[in-house]
Structure formats: C-alpha cells, structure tokens
Amino acid sequence: MAINPGRMRLLIRLEQRTTAKNTAGEPKNEWILVKEVRAEVVRSTGKEIFAAQERQGRVPTLFKLRWRDGIVPQMRIRWGSKLFNILSAIDPDGMRAELLVTTEELVGRTSP
C-alpha cells in the first residue's frame, strides 16, 4: 500500500495513561504525550456516525500514519479537543511503512 504523505496533514498526539500520586499520596491517572505525528483521518459516513451515536455515543474513526512501533489499545489519540480510544493498530502489508489505527471517538467528552 503506497503512502501519500500529502494526505497526512493533521497533527495528532499519541498519549499514554500513567498513574502518579497527588499531593495527598493518592493515585491519580494522567495522560502523557508519547509523540506528535502527522496523520490522515478517515471518518465514517454520516449514516454510520448517526447510528453509532444513537447506539453507543462513540464514532468509529480510522487514522493513517507512518509506521511506528509501540502503539497499543491502552493509548489514545488527541486531535485538537477530540479524544479517540485506540482499538487496534495494524500494519496492512507487513512492510512497516504505514499504520492503520482504528479508534472510537468519545463523543461529547473532552479531557485536559
């Protein structure tokens, strides 16, 4: 599968959840930046988005980016103020050139 770098215009943030302690010594979940990368975003059709919102409040979204190791479902993507849970990261042809990251947008939810 050929990569078209001209389509990878959007800057996204790959984030990993960590647990730190607050001032009282209690555990607190935080999201830290792993890497900022360029990506192409492929949204579902309007009908699929409407159906997804009615059923689950989640919108399926595919991000295409250059291949990189270490992207796992315990991570998330931040695109502007939108958050996306990572469901899978697949190297479509095994050539380590492109990565297809399947996500679900958390509709109506933002996080710092």
pLDDT of residue 85: 94
3-state class (DSSP) for residue 5:
helix
3-state class (DSSP) for residue 79:
strand
3-state class (DSSP) for residue 55:
helix
| Domains delineated in the chain | 7-106 (2.40.10.270)
Q: Reply yes or no on whether the pLDDT at 1 is more than 90.
A: no
Model pTM? 0.79
* Closest listed residue to residue 89, CA positions, set 58, 111, 67, 107: 67
Give the phi and the psi of residue 71 in degrees, each rounded to 5: -85, 120
* pLDDT tens column, 18-57: 988 888 888 888 999 999 999 999 976 545 555 555 555 6
* Closest listed residue to residue 37, CA positions, set 70, 74, 2: 70
